[in-house]
Structure 1
Amino acid sequence: MNQPTLSDRNFDPIADHFTDKVYGGLKGDIRLAVLKKDLSQAINTLISEQNRPLRILDIGAGLAQISIELADMGHEVTINDISINMLNKAKESITESTLLESIRWLACPYQQLADKLQGEYDLILCHALLEWLATPADIIAFFQQWLSPTGKLSLCFYNPASFIYRNLVMGNFNVLNNPNYKADNKRSLTPNNPVSYEEVSMWLEQAGFTIESVSGLRVFHDYSPLKRGGHTNPNAVVEMEVRYSTQEPFKWLGRYLHILAKYER
C-alpha cells in the first residue's frame, strides 16, 4: 500500500483560527512571557559581545511578535513564513511605517530561503514550526548553514508527551488506545507528527550544537479544566508558568519545549 505523501503545513486557510488559538488569550500570554524570559539574557549577551545591532532570522514566524519587538529595538530582522496570510497579519500589527519597512519579509517555505538570504545570523528563531514539517530533521542543516559561530538558536516545538498526559488527565483513554488516531487537520492545531525532545536533542548534538537551556511552555495551565483559586487570576497564572518553566520535573510537562542552543563549528 502506498504511503500518503507528507507535506509541510501551511496555515493560510485557517489564519484567523490559528491567530486566536495560538496567540490569543492566556495561552498566548504564557507563551510570550516564557519565551521573552528565556531570550532576554541570551540577547543581552549577544549585544554585549557584538557591540552592534543583531542580525535576526525568524523562520515560520506566524505573527512574529518577538522579532517585531526586536526590530523596533533597532536590530536587523528578517521574517519568514510559508503563509502569506500569517505574514499579512503580522504586518497589520505594526503601526509605524518606518518599522514595517525596516523588516525584510519573505513569504516562502524555509527550503526556498537559501537564494534569498545573505550572510550569517546572530539569532535564529524557529517557534512552533518543527512539528508541522514533513521531514523535520532536515531543518537542522539549515540552522548549521545560517547561524553565526557566536550565534544562538531559539527552537520551540510541540511536546508529544504533553498530548499523552493531557488525555490521561482528561480521561480520553479512547484516543490513547487508538493507534490510528489523527487530529482533524482542517482546523486542529494538534500536530499529527510531533517529534520528541530526545529526537530533537539527538539531531542537534549530532550536528554539533550544544544545548544551553530547556524550558517548558504551559506546564500546568492546559491540565486544569477546573478554574479556581489562583487560576482565576491570569497574572498569577503567567507568573507561576514562568517560575516553573525551567524547574524539574515540571518543565517536561510543557505543551511546548523551548531550547536555546549554540553551534560548535
Structure 2
Amino acid sequence: MSAEDRIFDGLADKFADSLYGKPRGALRLALLDALLPRTLHLAGQPALDVGGGLGQMSVWLAERGHPVTLAEPSAEMLARARESLGCRRATLLQAPLQALPERAPGPWPLIVCHAVLEWLAEPREAIRILADLLAPGGQLSLMVFNRDALRFSNIIKGNLTKALDDRLAGTGKRRRLTPISPLTHTEVVAWLAEAGLVVEHVAGIRVFHDYLREREPDATTLAQLLELEHRYCDVEPHWRLGRYLLYSVTKPGGSTGE
C-alpha cells in the first residue's frame, strides 16, 4: 500500500450519512441491484469484495448465496461491515488491495471492486493485481469515479478556472471526499486490456442526479429520476457522464460463473 493511498479511518459516519444516508446513495445501490444480475453470471460462486467499506456489496452478495471475503484496510469501516453482515456467511480481512495476492490469492471466480481505484496513488497497478487475482473465466465488477463527470460537475458549479487547469483530483488530506485519482473511461479500458481482461458491459451510475439543482428531491421526483437512470444508464451518450462508471469484465479462459 502506498503512503499516498486514502484510507477512511475516522470517516465511517461521514460515509454512512453523507453518501448512503442521502438519495445519491440509494440511487447507487438501486442501480447496482438492477445492473449486476443483468451483466454478471451470478451462480453462488465465491466472491472477493475488495475495499468493501461499510459492507453493502458483501451483504448483497451474501444474501444471494455467495460465500464472501470482504477486504478493507480501514479498521473502522471493517467493524461497520461486520455489523452489517451479522450472521451472514462472510470472511473479513483488514487488508489493502495491494496485500491481497498474499492474503486472499484465490484465484477468484468473482471479484467486486467498487469505488476503490480512485483512492489509490497507482490505480493502473491495482488493475494488474485484480487481473492476477481473477480466475480464468472469472468476472470482475469494477466501478470507478469518472473524471469526465467531475469536470462537467465543476463547470456547472462555476468552477471554470479549476476545470480549465484540470485541477480536479482531491488531495486526500481533508475530510472532503473528492478522489485523489479520478479516472477516465479511456484510461480504464486501456489498463484492463493491458492486463488481459475483456470489457463486456459499461454503465453510468447516477447519470443525471448529480447535476440537478435540487440534490435531495422529494419521493415523487426521486422515483421519476430512478426510472430515467435505469432507462439511460447504458445508453449512448448518457452513460459517459455517470458519476461512476461500472464495468463488467471477464478474464479469458475457463468457464464463466463456475
Superposed pair shares fold, TM > 0.5: yes
Query: For the Cα contact (< 8 Å) 1:79–1:106, is it kept in 2?
Result: yes
Tell me how far apart the structure 1 counterparts of residues 150 and 199 of structure 2 sit (CA, whole Å).
Answer: 24
More deviation, 22-31/123-132: 22-31
Aligned residues: 251
Moved more, 120-129 or 140-149: 140-149
Partner of 2:49: 58
Question: Is 1:88 aligned with 2:79?
Answer: yes
Pick the aligned partner of 2:134 from 130, 138, 147: 147
Counterpart of 2:69 in structure 1: which amino acid? T
Q: Are the counterparts in 2 of residues 33 and 242 from structure 1 also a CA contact under 8 Å? A: no
Assess, with a 3 A threshold, how the Cα gap between structure 1 residues 105 and 6 changes in structure 2: closer, same or farther: closer
Say which of 188, 193, 205 aligns to 2:176.
188
Matching residue of 1:41: 38
Q: CA deviation at 1:229?
A: 9.2
Shift of 1:6: 5.7
Please tell me the residue identity of whatever aligns with 2:62: A
CA RMSD of aligned residues (A): 2.3
Asked if structure 1 preserves the Cα contact closer than 8 Å seen for 2:113 and 2:143, the reply is: yes
1:240 counterpart = 2:231: no
- Structure whose alpha-carbon radius of gyration is higher: 1
CA offset digits 1:56-105 (Å, max 9, x no partner): 000011122122122133211100111111111122223x43x1xx2100
Q: 1:178 to 1:247 in 2, by over 3 A?
A: same
Q: Distance in 2 between matches of 1:246 and 1:179?
A: 27
Q: Which residue of 2 aligns with 1:158?
A: 145
Between 1:190-199 and 1:5-14, the stretch displaced more is 5-14
Q: For residues 222 and 119 of structure 1, do their structure 2 counterparts lie closer, same or farther at Cα, with a shift above 3 Å needed?
A: closer
Q: Percent identity?
A: 38
SS in 1 for 2:213: coil
**CA displacement at 1:179 relative to structure 2:** 5.3
Contact preservation (8 Å) 2:117, 2:181: no
- Identify the residue that residue 256 of structure 2 maps to in structure 1: none
State which of 241, 252, 255 in structure 2 corresponds to 1:264: 252
- Greater share of helix: 1
In structure 2, the residue matched to 1:50 is none
Unaligned 5+ segments in structure 1 are: 48-52
- Tell me the amino acid that sits aligned with residue 217 of structure 1: I
Letter in 2 for 1:17: K
Once superposed, which parts of structure 1, at least 4 consecutive aligned residues long, lie more than 3 Å away?
A: 177-185, 226-232
Q: What letter matches 1:70 in structure 2?
A: L
Q: Give how far 1:111 is off.
A: 1.3
Q: Are the aligned partners of 1:15 and 1:85 in contact in 2 as well (CA < 8 Å)?
A: yes
Are residues 1:251 and 2:239 paired? yes
Q: 1:33 to 1:165 in 2, by over 3 A?
A: same
- Asked if 2 retains the 8 angstrom alpha-carbon contact of 1:159 and 1:256, the reply is yes
Q: Which runs of 5+ in 2 are unaligned?
A: 254-258
Contact 1:230 1:236 in 2 (8 A): no
Please name the residue that 1:169 is paired with. 156
